Amino acid sequence: MDNDSMSGMKTMQDVHTKEIDLVNRDPKHINDDVVKVDFEDVIAEPAGTYSFDGVWKASFTTFTVTKYWCYRLLTALVGIPLALVWGIFFAILSFIHIWAVVPCVKSYLIEIHCVSRVYSICVHTFCDPLFEAMGKCFSSIRISTTKGV
């Protein structure tokens, strides 16, 4: 093939080898509505009921470090198995949607179009004349109201 025909072809990037961003791990902001829990969101001392400064600093450090390492430990132990489960789940979901749902919906739309044509013929054949005749019968009825005292 020459270069002109090669440049006209669409190039496809392999999603398995693309680089991932290790700094911005939520580029599409899908977790913006998830509760972000920091120390200040959970523990707060109102004015007049302060603990010792050292206790407050130690509590902050303990909370922050514990949350950090528990999250890391949980993701290390459970993250990869869950990624496997979710990968299988979404593969099955995609497969069902592509190979079952879309063809069924397409088939339904084709069949319903045929049924709607038959239904339309029946309505125009039987119902239209009936209602036109009833309309002509009732069109000559005149109602007048009088107020009696």
pLDDT tens, position by position, 25-62? 888 888 877 777 889 888 999 999 999 999 999 999 99
How is residue 112 written in tokens?
């319903």
Please give the single-letter amino acid code of residue 93.
L
pLDDT of the residue at 144: 85
The whole-model pTM stands at: 0.56
Q: Which tokens is 63 given?
A: 């909370």
What does the pLDDT look like over 98-118, one tens digit per residue?
999 999 999 999 999 999 999
pLDDT over 60 at 125, yes or no:
yes
> What share of the chain in percent tops pLDDT 90?
61
Alpha helices in 12-144 (DSSP H): 39-42, 53-74, 80-96, 102-122, 128-139
Which of residues 83 and 4 earns the better pLDDT score? 83
Question: For residue 105, what are its two tokens?
Answer: 């919906």
